[in-house]
Amino acid sequence: MTSTNANPAAVIYCPAMNESDASQAIDGVAQRLARTLDHHSEPIGTAYRVRAAAPEDYGAQGRTEVREILRVDPGKNPETEGVVTHRVYFLDYLPLLDDDAPASNLLLRTANLLWQCVKLTVRFTAACAVAESFSKRQKLSVFVGGLALAGVLLYTGLAVGTVARLVYDAWSQPATPAAVVATAPAPASPAHAVAAAPAGAIAGAPAASVPAAPAKTSAAAQPGQPLGDRILSWISRAPGRLGHWLAELPGRVWRWLGSAKAKTIAVLGALGLSVSGLRAMLDRSVTMTLRFCRYLDAGAARASCTGKFNALLEHVLESTPSRVDVVAYSLGSLVALDSLYPPEGCPNTRVGHVRTLTTIGCPFDFVRTFWEQYFDGRSATATGLRWLNVYSPVDVLGSNFANDDGLKARATRGINGSSRTARDQDAAAGDAAPGENLFYDPMGRRELTLWHAIVFEGFVAHERYWVAGQPDAESCYECFVPKLYPGTPAPQS
């Protein structure tokens, strides 16, 4: 029977914004952790395995997925003699950052994103003039990425606008069927109004002499008719009007598409709405950008996320683990920093029980470029915390906590100081800063070049701290796991 350590280590994982990526889910995290522990364990025959545990409820409405990591010593039965050494807890804060608009309402989401882009443009313009946290290459990467996102938005707007134009034109310009037009009687004089000519005579008669029955006056043409009667009259004729409009719709669309320009617009618009790859890319960009902006701009959303982190930490501590380690990636790093180092006046005594914090691709420089005073005035409640920061110099969102693109073993910027003041020395004693920067890039790239900015490598590199769908592949976990749980010396970088 599998046994459990009296006090296994607890790992709280704070994910990034893209919840659809399975490699960021708890299974991928636990498998990479187990693989790294397995590769650095002694003796060589020791194996680490992952098994699912029952989800656990915490706080008022919180629920966390849990995975256990088992150590199986040489010669032991993995099914019955494994020992639980770690429990991994998943912080699911992303639903707190989603707006009320349905995910399928592309028009509303696009309009919201356009508004966020306008605000970011204003921040970007101001940051380019005064900010020192981003280098010129990093600013260029953000600018190019912004242009690409604007292009996708314009393309989507074209698609939505094309469909709206088709519907509007077809509805607002009713036409008479061709058969009716050929036999339609011309206006008749009062003298001829009392007689009806045969169809053949009508077809060959001059326009002025074609007799016709008096047209039935519409409700709209009767100003003296009560409003209620006019409404009832319109409702009674609505089914016929709708059927007539539907019958004429194909012809009207074809006539509207008479020019090559209009046809091109319609084809591009239809592709923008139907091609799954473009739609998925847009939806992913919209979701992540809106979540990021809402977290930074909306105090209530940020407070909800940090409150959920603190509730999960309280729940984990109740199980009396041997230690608590926090691993956070991308936006999850901000959630962890805002929880462990809250704004001044909001201390949390529970964070003193956290032994280590590992941030991966932390957007510290990006945030303080556009939100100038975001990290100022923090309370250093987690004073005994060991902080490791994993980053790639090519990652435009990852930070080395310094005002440059290069490799920095130690941070020159901290949380408590003025965010846009550059320093050449290590972070001041009063600042909360990583104790160690860990460089990671599987391609060995150590500088953000102009080409990287043009081909969006600055953003693509943000997702290359591990290989999606391949938990056995090399990942950034090789950088920090041996430092957190030393069994053998950490590999040399």
381: tokens are 């409640």
Do both 335 and 415 map to the same domain?
Answer: yes
pLDDT at 161: 63
* Cα-based torsion angle of the residue sequence 41, 4, 57, 330 in order, rounded to the nearest 10 degrees: -10
CA–CA separation, 19 vs 105, rounded Å? 19
Do both 270 and 386 map to the same domain?
Answer: no
Among 98-112, 192-206, 391-405, the minimum mean pLDDT is found in 192-206
Do both 437 and 323 map to the same domain?
Answer: yes
Does 283 reside within a domain? Answer: yes
CA–CA separation, 440 vs 453, rounded Å? 19
Do both 285 and 380 map to the same domain?
Answer: no
Q: Which of 225-234, 253-262, 459-468 is modeled with the greatest confidence?
A: 459-468
Total number of domains in the chain: 2
More confident residue, 300 or 35: 35
Do both 88 and 118 map to the same domain?
Answer: no
Residue 478: pLDDT over 70: yes
Residue 65: pLDDT over 90: yes
pLDDT in tens, 2-18: 555 568 999 999 998 87
Average pLDDT over residues 464-483: 89
Does 37 reside within a domain? Answer: yes
Do both 324 and 274 map to the same domain?
Answer: no
**Helix (H, G, I), strand (E, B), or coil: what is residue 394?**
coil
Please give the full DSSP string across 150-183, using - where no structure is assigned: HHHHHHHHHHHHHHHHHHHHHHHS----HHHHHH
Q: Which of 297, 483, 330 is CA-nearest to residue 399?
A: 330
pLDDT bucket at 370, cuts 50 / 70 / 90: confident
Do both 447 and 326 map to the same domain?
Answer: yes
CA–CA separation, 335 vs 292, rounded Å? 11
Do both 13 and 69 map to the same domain?
Answer: yes
Percent of the chain's residues with pLDDT above 90 = 22
CA–CA separation, 264 vs 248, rounded Å? 22
Read off the CATH number of the domain in which 373 is found.
Answer: 3.40.50
Does 208 reside within a domain? Answer: no
CA–CA separation, 160 vs 274, rounded Å? 11
Structural domain of 110: 105-182+238-297
pLDDT bucket at 156, cuts 50 / 70 / 90: low
Do both 254 and 120 map to the same domain?
Answer: yes
Do both 325 and 391 map to the same domain?
Answer: yes
Average pLDDT over residues 350-362: 91
295: tokens are 């977290």
More confident residue, 364 or 185: 364
More confident residue, 343 or 71: 71
Among 328-337, 374-383, 448-457, the minimum mean pLDDT is found in 448-457
pLDDT at 131: 57
Among 109-113, 207-211, 277-281, the minimum mean pLDDT is found in 207-211
Residue 353: pLDDT over 60: yes
Q: Which of 465, 459, 463 is CA-nearest to residue 478?
A: 465
238 membership: H or E segment, kind and range: helix 227-256
Do both 444 and 373 map to the same domain?
Answer: yes
Average pLDDT over residues 241-254: 72
CA–CA separation, 287 vs 307, rounded Å? 22
pLDDT bucket at 194, cuts 50 / 70 / 90: very low
Q: Which of 298, 311, 376 is CA-nearest to residue 337?
A: 376
Q: What average pLDDT is seen over the chain?
A: 74
Residue 274: pLDDT over 70: no
Among 8-22, 342-356, 428-442, the minimum mean pLDDT is found in 428-442
Does 217 reside within a domain? Answer: no
pLDDT at 321: 92
pLDDT bucket at 283, cuts 50 / 70 / 90: low
Its pTM stands at 0.70
Q: Which of the listed residues 266, 297, 328 is the one where a domain comes to its end? A: 297
